[in-house]
């Protein structure tokens, strides 16, 4: 990627963050929401207790910023896991440690909320640049498609999460760095360290980080196909990268076992938020069933239209990329299949995991709508011209969603 293209992508990402942060500050300054009031994302002053956060009814994602801040300052709750108690008592085991660790280190232990916002925005810019570099290195996208990726990442309506003291930016950056360094044709010691560390961090930040392994496994398979020019060292290296996200998740599971006796406490405690397991895509089917009750559909607390739109976009991208990749499989340039197929596999796994519970698409817009692979899929599926035409609308909705996040309205991403 030329310096001119790099600067263009850098300008796009930085400009969007400046706009979002200005909206946050302006809305907070002009609204009647007091600083530090539970139920809002932006805590510029003060602290919030766990009990304040749990019972706040006006929060897009249950005031997760407060949960992460509490973990960074006081650590995890150390008590034996109880299935009975989990239904009545929410614990912080559901929140992964990657973001609290980075937030605490960056703020020198103060866990200052403004420092969290600065860190989140900085990590987002790194994520956009790194992922764009990956797309160029693997030749997965044209120049215009890479610009589309930068525009979607920066102005997609749910990208305001990247400017808040939440783990979305860290996951974006760690995934982008993992892909950018693991797939460098000229590997060296520094790239190896960054690739392994970023993969580990992605698994330590979100459970879906383990899906990043799909990309390196696919690349290892591609290397194995070259019977005459196989590079055993490269294959071992790719497999090492593949296990790094698993090690990140495994580290948290081992820690949970030592303090709760349950390595899956992060999953099992979800019942305290009314979540329970279900068959694949149950959340999507439940959304359709909700139309039977007009009251449910019109209630702002159950308004899942935004989540549904993200779900449909994901499915569309999966189908289109699979069709295109299948055509390449039958052509002389069949290696393109192995380059592309990890994207729909990743998005399918994300879709199944995120909708396999009793909640109709709860938080899906946040889980998938802030995922760099979702943005990659959209960038290479939709025409760049369409993305540019939709940019004003995306920016307008982004501003609206950001404003609603500040005042604690949860109609769009709950």
| pLDDT tens digits along 147-164 | 999 999 999 998 999 998
Give dist(CA 39, CA 41) in Å, integer: 7
Q: How far is it, in rounded angstroms, from Cα 263 to Cα 396?
A: 43
Distance CA(344)–CA(382), nearest Å, equals: 15
Q: Which residue has 């899929």 as its token pair?
A: 377
**Cβ(153)–Cβ(128) below 8 Å:** yes
Quick: pLDDT tens for 337-364.
Answer: 889 999 999 999 999 988 887 676 777 8
- Asked whether 375 and 152 are in contact (CB, 8 A), the reply is yes
What average pLDDT does this structure show over 170-183? 97
More confident residue, 53 or 360: 360
pLDDT at residue 55 greater than cutoff 70: no
Average pLDDT over residues 177-183: 96
| C-beta of residue 64 within 8 angstroms of C-beta of residue 166 | yes
In 274-370, which ranges are E strands?
Answer: none
CA 365 – CA 213 distance, rounded (Å) = 23
Lookup result for tokens 């920016």: 395
Most confident listed range (55-64, 182-191, 288-297) = 182-191
Angstrom distance (rounded) from CA 100 to CA 182: 25
pLDDT tens string 196-242: 999 999 999 999 999 999 999 999 998 888 766 778 888 999 999 99
How far, in Å, CA of 78 to CA of 80, rounded?
7
Higher pLDDT, 380 or 366: 380
Give percent of the chain with pLDDT exceeding 90.
54
Q: What radius of gyration, in Å, describes the C-alpha atoms of the chain?
A: 21
- Structure tokens, 283: 């959340």
Report the percentage of the chain scoring pLDDT > 70.
84
What would the mean pLDDT of 23-28 be, rounded to a whole number?
85
* Of residues 174, 172, 148, the one with CA closest to residue 161: 172
Band of pLDDT at residue 40, cut at 50, 70 and 90: very low
Asked if residue 100 has pLDDT above 70, the reply is yes
Q: Could you give the CA distance from residue 359 to residue 356 in angstroms, rounded to a whole number?
A: 8
pLDDT average, residue stretch 297-321: 78
């Amino acid at each position: 990627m030329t310096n001119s293209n790099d600067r263009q992508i850098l300008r796009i990402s930085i400009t969007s963050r400046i706009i979002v942060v200005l909206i946050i500050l302006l809305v907070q300054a002009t609204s009647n929401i007091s600083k530090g009031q539970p139920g809002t994302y932006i805590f510029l002053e003060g602290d919030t207790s766990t009990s304040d956060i749990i019972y706040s009814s006006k929060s897009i994602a249950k005031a997760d910023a407060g949960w992460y801040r509490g973990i960074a300052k006081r650590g995890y709750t150390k008590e034996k896991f109880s299935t009975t108690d989990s239904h009545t008592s929410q614990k912080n085991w559901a929140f992964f440690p990657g973001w609290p660790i980075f937030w605490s280190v960056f703020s020198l232990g103060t866990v200052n909320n403004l420092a969290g916002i600065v860190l989140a925005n900085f990590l987002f810019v790194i994520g956009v640049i790194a992922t764009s570099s990956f797309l160029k290195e693997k030749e997965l996208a044209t120049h215009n498609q890479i610009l589309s990726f930068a525009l979607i990442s920066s102005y997609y309506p749910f990208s305001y999460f990247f400017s808040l003291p939440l783990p979305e930016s860290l996951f974006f950056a760690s995934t982008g760095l993992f892909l950018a360094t693991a797939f460098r044709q000229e590997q060296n010691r520094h790239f190896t360290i960054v690739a392994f560390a970023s993969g580990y961090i992605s698994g330590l930040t979100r459970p879906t980080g383990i899906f990043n392994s799909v990309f390196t496994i696919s690349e290892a398979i591609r290397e194995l196909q070259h019977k005459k020019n196989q590079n055993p060292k490269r294959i071992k290296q790719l497999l090492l990268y593949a296990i790094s996200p698993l090690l990140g998740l495994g580290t948290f599971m081992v820690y949970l076992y030592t303090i709760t006796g349950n390595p899956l406490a992060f999953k099992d405690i979800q019942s305290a938020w009314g979540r329970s397991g279900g068959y694949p895509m149950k959340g999507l089917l439940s959304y359709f069933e909700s139309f039977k009750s007009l009251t449910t559909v019109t209630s702002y607390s159950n308004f899942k239209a935004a989540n549904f739109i993200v779900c449909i976009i994901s499915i569309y991208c999966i189908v289109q990329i699979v069709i295109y990749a299948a055509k390449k499989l039958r052509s002389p340039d069949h290696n393109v299949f192995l380059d592309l197929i990890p994207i729909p596999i990743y998005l399918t796994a994300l879709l199944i995991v995120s909708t396999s519970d009793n909640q109709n698409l709860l938080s899906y817009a946040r889980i998938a709508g802030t995922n760099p692979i979702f943005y990659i899929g959209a960038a290479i599926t939709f025409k760049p011209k369409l993305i540019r035409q939709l940019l004003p609308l995306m920016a307008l909705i982004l501003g609206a969603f950001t404003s609603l996040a500040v005042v604690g309205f949860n109609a769009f991403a709950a």
